[in-house]
Amino acid sequence: MDFELDDDARAFQETLRRYARDVLAPDYARWEREPLPRERILALGDLGVLGLRVPEALGGVGGSYVMAGVAAEEIARGDHNMTLFLQLACIAGDLIGQYGAPALRERLLPGLARGETLIAFGLTEPGAGSDAASLRTRAELEGDEWVVSGEKASITLAGCADYCVVFARMGGAGAKGIGAVVVPLNAPGVTRTVYDAMGGKLTQRGSLNFDRVRVPRDHQLGADTAGFAQAMEAFDYNRAIIALACLGTAQQSLDETVEYAKQRQTFGKPLARHAGYAFQVAEHATHLAAARLLAYQTLWLRDRGRPHTREAAMVKFLAPQASVQAIHACIVLNGWMGYQNELPHAQRLRDVMGLEIGDGTPEIMKGVVAREIFGREFIAYR
């Protein structure tokens, strides 16, 4: 097995690491208090980050899933929340690129790649989170329009997105009755609410309400019965990208703590020479490295069209958990200064914790892994 990135990927990695250090990190705390200027999203487009899953013919990069993982890990070193724009751009690029009508692709994907168009992912509802097949939002066909009614909850970019891929019931009960339609969020009948969450404030997570919102029929993605499968397909690889975003943030905290431990003197020697301190760093570095390999293995499998559901679920519960534990340790290992907001560790902890929940809780991920190991006839929730 070859663990080396090629020359293009390494150059991309180095560019994004510099950008994260020089541009994103200095303003990380600022966006907890102020709205993110749209110019910052356009800059991600200029770097090629948002067009990774958009074909070159439509202004994108046409990059691999491994490249998307590299981008998430490096951006997260400067600002964990900025990786959400990458995640949603990848998902929208894939779904619209594969299942959208040609006119819809040409209308939305160039702007998506440039950062001019933000597209949210609307699956979760107040009563249907991990049990996505029980969602209640409906889309009914009236002439040449879909009429969408319902509520979506905990939607990243709810407060600022221009469109949302809305998963709605177009047929009967269960997963096979779900389709997907791209809804303009400036359409009559759409209302938004942004949550006051403990972290991730930059991404304006909230709810979207649809009161008989009319959408052109050609905004549908694929068949009336294909929505659930499309959502699960997107989840599989995005769980590895989430993992790498968490790991990049945690690794940055650990790297900063290592530098602190080399300089801080106690009992006549640097903290790094105290075994009780150094062993904690070694333990967390090991957990982060192991999760990182599993995340890249998942994306490598995806790039080759091979099954990766089990690996994606494994790394989705492992990496955020390991990252939260590592960042928490960094707060303690930095002493009283680690608890102060002058250092970024506390904000990183709040932000990463959100992705222990988003795209599937640890309990759901373990259920997926168990299903893949034992077989579907042993699913616990049937």
Q: Does any domain span residue 2?
A: no
Q: Does any domain span residue 159?
A: yes
Task: Supply 86's token pair.
Answer: 């990458």
User: Could you give the residue ranges of the DSSP H alpha helices within the chain?
Assistant: 7-19, 38-46, 65-78, 83-99, 102-114, 227-263, 275-303, 309-333, 345-357, 362-374
- Residue 147: strand pairing partners: 140, 214
Task: Supply 97's token pair.
Answer: 């690129």
Q: Both 113 and 124 in a single domain?
A: no
Task: Supply 110's token pair.
Answer: 């160039």
Domain boundary among 225, 241, 272: 225
Q: Give the list of residues 6+ apart from residue 73 with CB closer than 8 angstroms, or none.
A: 244, 245, 247, 248, 251, 292
Question: Which of these ranges, 20-24, 307-311, 337-341, has the smallest mean pLDDT?
Answer: 337-341
* Alpha carbon distance 34, 315 (integer Å): 32
Q: Both 246 and 369 in a single domain?
A: yes
Q: What is the pLDDT of residues 72-90, one digit of tens each?
A: 999 999 999 999 999 999 9
Q: Does any domain span residue 1?
A: no
Q: Both 206 and 97 in a single domain?
A: no
**Quick check: 30 pLDDT over 70?**
yes
**Quick check: 3 pLDDT over 90?**
no
Domain that holds residue 12: 7-117
* Alpha carbon distance 80, 82 (integer Å): 6
pLDDT for the residue numbered 381? 62
Q: Both 205 and 74 in a single domain?
A: no
CATH code for the domain of 126: 2.40.110.10
- Helix (H), strand (E), coil (C) string for 131-155: CHHHCCCEEEEECCEEEEEEEEEEE
Burial call 304-336: b when 16+ CB within 10 Å, e when fewer: eeeebbbbbbbbbbbbbbbbbbbbbbbbebbee
Q: Both 84 and 133 in a single domain?
A: no
Mean pLDDT of the chain: 94
What is the rounded average pLDDT of the residues 22-43?
95
Which percentage of the chain shows pLDDT scores above 90? 84
Angle (CA) 194-200-201 rounded to 5° is 45
CA-wise closest residue to 180 among 233, 102, 123, 107: 123
Q: What is the pLDDT of residues 269-280, one digit of tens each?
A: 999 999 999 999
Domain boundary among 117, 151, 181: 117
What is the rounded average pLDDT of the residues 29-54?
95
* Residue 173 banded pLDDT, cuts 50, 70, 90: confident
Q: Give the list of residues 6+ apart from residue 203 with CB closer than 8 angstroms, or none.
A: 81, 84, 156, 157
Read off the pTM. Answer: 0.94
**Quick check: 357 pLDDT over 70?**
yes
pLDDT for the residue numbered 354? 94
Q: Both 101 and 204 in a single domain?
A: no
What is the crossing angle of helices 309-333 and 345-357, to 10°?
A: 160
**Quick check: 359 pLDDT over 90?**
no
Q: What is the pLDDT of residues 48-60, one digit of tens each?
A: 999 999 999 999 9
Task: Supply 186's token pair.
Answer: 């400036």
Q: Both 232 and 322 in a single domain?
A: yes
pLDDT for the residue numbered 12? 95
Q: What is the pLDDT of residues 121-161, one digit of tens each?
A: 999 999 877 777 789 999 999 999 999 999 999 999 999 99
Report how many domains make up the chain: 3
Q: Does any domain span residue 92?
A: yes
Higher pLDDT, 311 or 265: 311
Give the count of alpha carbons within 13 A of 314, CB side only.
18
User: Could you give the residue ranges of the DSSP H alpha helices within 47-149?
Assistant: 65-78, 83-99, 102-114
**Quick check: 185 pLDDT over 90?**
yes
Higher pLDDT, 48 or 1: 48
Q: Both 202 and 127 in a single domain?
A: yes
Give residue 294's identity as a one-letter amino acid code: L
Contact 299, 237 (CB under 8 A): yes
pLDDT for the residue numbered 226? 85
Q: Both 234 and 190 in a single domain?
A: no
Q: Does any domain span residue 158?
A: yes
**Quick check: 358 pLDDT over 90?**
no
Give the count of alpha carbons within 13 A of 186, CB side only.
5
CATH code for the domain of 264: 1.20.140.10
Domain boundary among 225, 256, 289: 225
What is the rounded average pLDDT of the residues 284-292?
98
**Quick check: 171 pLDDT over 80?**
yes
Size of the chain, expressed as the number of residues it contains: 382
pLDDT for the residue numbered 191? 98
* Alpha carbon distance 141, 365 (integer Å): 35
Q: Both 191 and 76 in a single domain?
A: no
* Alpha carbon distance 351, 76 (integer Å): 11
* Alpha carbon distance 50, 292 (integer Å): 22
Q: Does any domain span residue 89?
A: yes
Q: Both 373 and 232 in a single domain?
A: yes
